[in-house]
């Protein structure tokens, strides 16, 4: 018999990557939970095609005022804020999410989140549960939050797409997962394209893009590979049809894969899970800036020469256990969520403990991200970047954490 009073969860996502994460995370809640997923309209709202690819169906797209009205009307037990940090910070300024009658507030990061992102903690101050996906990340984020003076509960969950059974019949595609932020230079991206084009037939190089030309994604891409390939193949006389560009889900792209290549994408974990031979390129460095530092010690770091030659190696087993492939029994997010929801049903949780000073100027800017149409926000953002910055001034929005010393109660956590 179904529960007459299921626990109600509302998941709110603002971009393609967060939507995919939210949909798959709440799908694992199981019986006794009633789930609704909404897309929040912001400057990076995913297209209808991206929504269907992430969720398998069309979903309501709402503005912030509609979201707040729905919270007042439906009073969910918990809200999953599957959004970029500044959007979460703006939403937490509203009493529906901050007041004493608020729901349990859950947030998290949708993929590889190492090294620790300090701003990711700051923006999410006031949430109850912060979901991470590896033992290494959970320890690192908890130590950094304690050092900074934030009280947050960091909980562990298997990356949702690693919970699914991977179906893979080896094909002929060498799939390269394109990313918006890295590598940053035109020459580096062209080097990747040349190496892909040089892969020996019958292997077929495929560039898996996050978004088509008219679509938005979590991070803006200034140098799309498709455009660079048009220019490079014409300039150097390379067969234009040698490389295929494909959108859609990564799971579908891996179905016909003989190998997978990336600079740092979370999709490398999908490939490992699907037993697809994987290369993480190290030609452009291995660092926090390249978003691939987590792969040190993985056994997957190789160069473009290895890609051209088709040289792959298996991942290190110890690295897998510490990084995203822990046993399901180690997960803590669902028991903690259940505990907090039941506690809230017994008595209110009280106001969210949002740390930091929220000045009017900063609040106007944060709310503008929710209220302005995409074109107006982009214009305002460009104008803001032109404004001279005061190099030594503290942030107007956040009270700096007190300085710590090596002898203080919270020594800075180690990087590893």
What contacts 108, CB < 8 A, 6 or more positions away? Answer: 21, 25, 82, 129, 130, 131, 132, 157
What is the structure's pLDDT at 216?
Answer: 44
Sign of the CA dihedral with 114 first, then 119, 124, and 129 last? positive
What is the structure's pLDDT at 384?
Answer: 75
Domains of the chain: residue spans and CATH = 7-158+327-346 (3.40.50.2000), 173-322 (3.40.50)
pLDDT at 175 over 70: yes
pLDDT at 412 over 60: no
Please return the burial class of 8, using the count of CB atoms within 10 Å of its CB with bins 0-12, 13-18 and 19+.
middle
pLDDT digits (tens, 9 = 90+) for 91-145: 999 999 999 999 999 999 998 999 999 999 999 999 999 999 999 999 999 999 9
In the structure, what pLDDT confidence band is assigned to residue 15 with cuts at 50, 70 and 90? very high
In the structure, what pLDDT confidence band is assigned to residue 358 with cuts at 50, 70 and 90? low
pLDDT digits (tens, 9 = 90+) for 63-91: 999 999 999 999 999 999 999 999 999 99
Q: Mean pLDDT throughout 275-297?
A: 95
In the structure, what pLDDT confidence band is assigned to residue 3 with cuts at 50, 70 and 90? low
pLDDT at 359 over 70: no
What is the structure's pLDDT at 357?
Answer: 46
Q: Which residue has the higher pLDDT, 378 or 96?
A: 96
Per-residue b or e along 159-198, where b marks 16 or more CB atoms closer than 10 Å to that residue's CB: bbbbeeebeeeebebbbbbbbeebbeeeebbbbbbbbbbe
What is the structure's pLDDT at 372?
Answer: 74
Per DSSP, 105 falls in state: E
What is the structure's pLDDT at 191?
Answer: 98
- Sheet with 278-281: strands ordered across: 244-246, 204-208, 173-177, 257-262, 278-281, 301-302
Nearest-10 crossing angle of helices 374-386, 360-371: 140
Closest by CA position to 294, among listed 310, 274, 271, 315 = 315
Instruction: Specify the 3-state DSSP secondary structure of 217.
Output: coil
Q: Mean pLDDT throughout 285-291?
A: 93
**Distances from the Cα of 296 to the Cα of 114, 122, 299, 304, 320, angstroms:** 11, 27, 8, 17, 11
In the structure, what pLDDT confidence band is assigned to residue 39 with cuts at 50, 70 and 90? very high
In the structure, what pLDDT confidence band is assigned to residue 406 with cuts at 50, 70 and 90? very low
Q: Which residue has the higher pLDDT, 378 or 55?
A: 55
Q: What is the dihedral of CA 262, 265, 266, 272, to 10 degrees?
A: 0
Sign of the CA dihedral with 204 first, then 205, 210, and 212 last? negative
pLDDT digits (tens, 9 = 90+) for 257-268: 999 999 998 899
What contacts 251, CB < 8 A, 6 or more positions away? Answer: 161, 164, 270, 274
In the structure, what pLDDT confidence band is assigned to residue 374 with cuts at 50, 70 and 90? confident
Q: What is the mean pLDDT of the chain?
A: 87
Closest by CA position to 92, among listed 110, 75, 107 = 107
Least confident piece of the model among 3-17, 28-42, 159-173: 159-173
Instruction: Specify the 3-state DSSP secondary structure of 262.
Output: strand
In the structure, what pLDDT confidence band is assigned to residue 212 with cuts at 50, 70 and 90? low
Q: Mean pLDDT throughout 16-45?
A: 94
In the structure, what pLDDT confidence band is assigned to residue 378 with cuts at 50, 70 and 90? confident
Q: Are 78 and 104 in contact (CB under 8 A)?
A: yes
Q: Mean pLDDT throughout 224-248?
A: 95
In the structure, what pLDDT confidence band is assigned to residue 221 with cuts at 50, 70 and 90? low
pLDDT at 247 over 70: yes
Q: Mean pLDDT throughout 162-182?
A: 84
| Structure tokens belonging to residue 307 | 């890609």
Entry pTM: 0.82
Q: Mean pLDDT throughout 340-353?
A: 95
In the structure, what pLDDT confidence band is assigned to residue 167 with cuts at 50, 70 and 90? low
pLDDT at 248 over 90: no
């Amino acid at each position: 018999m179904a529960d007459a009073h299921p626990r109600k969860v509302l998941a709110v996502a603002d971009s393609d990557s967060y939507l995919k994460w939210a949909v798959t995370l709440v799908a694992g809640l199981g019986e006794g939970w009633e789930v609704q997923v909404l897309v929040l309209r912001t400057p990076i709202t995913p297209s209808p095609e991206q929504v269907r690819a992430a969720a398998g169906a069309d979903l309501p797209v709402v503005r912030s005022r509609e979201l707040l009205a729905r919270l007042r009307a439906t009073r969910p037990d918990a809200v999953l804020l599957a959004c970029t940090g500044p959007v979460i910070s703006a939403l937490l300024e509203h009493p529906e999410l901050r007041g004493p009658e608020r729901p349990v507030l859950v947030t998290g990061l949708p993929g590889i989140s190492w090294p620790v992102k300090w701003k990711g903690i700051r923006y999410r101050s006031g949430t109850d549960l912060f979901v991470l996906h590896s033992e290494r990340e959970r320890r690192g984020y908890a130590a950094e939050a304690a050092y900074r003076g934030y009280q947050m509960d960091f909980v562990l969950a298997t990356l949702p797409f690693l919970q699914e059974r991977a179906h893979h019949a080896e094909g002929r595609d060498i799939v390269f997962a394109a990313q918006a932020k890295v590598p940053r230079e035109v020459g580096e991206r062209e080097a990747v394209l040349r190496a892909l084009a040089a892969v020996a037939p019958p292997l077929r190089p495929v560039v898996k893009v996050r978004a088509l030309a008219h679509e938005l994604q979590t991070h803006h891409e200034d140098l799309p590979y498709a455009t660079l390939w048009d220019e490079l193949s014409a300039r150097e006389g390379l067969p234009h049809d040698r490389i295929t560009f494909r959108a859609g889900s990564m799971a579908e792209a891996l179905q016909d894969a003989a190998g997978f290549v990336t600079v740092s994408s979370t999709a490398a974990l999908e490939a490992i899970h699907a037993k697809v031979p994987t290369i993480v390129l190290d030609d452009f460095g291995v660092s926090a800036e390249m978003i691939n530092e987590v792969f040190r010690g993985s056994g997957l770091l190789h160069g473009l020469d290895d890609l051209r030659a088709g040289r792959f190696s298996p991942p290190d087993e110890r690295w897998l256990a510490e990084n995203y492939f822990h046993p399901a029994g180690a997960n803590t997010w669902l028991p903690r969520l259940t505990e907090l929801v039941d506690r809230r049903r017994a008595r209110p949780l009280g106001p969210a403990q949002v740390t930091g000073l929220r000045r009017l100027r900063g609040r106007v800017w944060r709310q503008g991200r929710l209220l302005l149409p995409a074109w107006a926000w982009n214009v305002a953002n460009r104008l803001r970047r032109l404004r001279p910055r005061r190099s030594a001034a503290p942030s107007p929005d956040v009270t700096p954490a007190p300085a710590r010393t090596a002898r203080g109660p919270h020594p800075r956590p180690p990087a590893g």
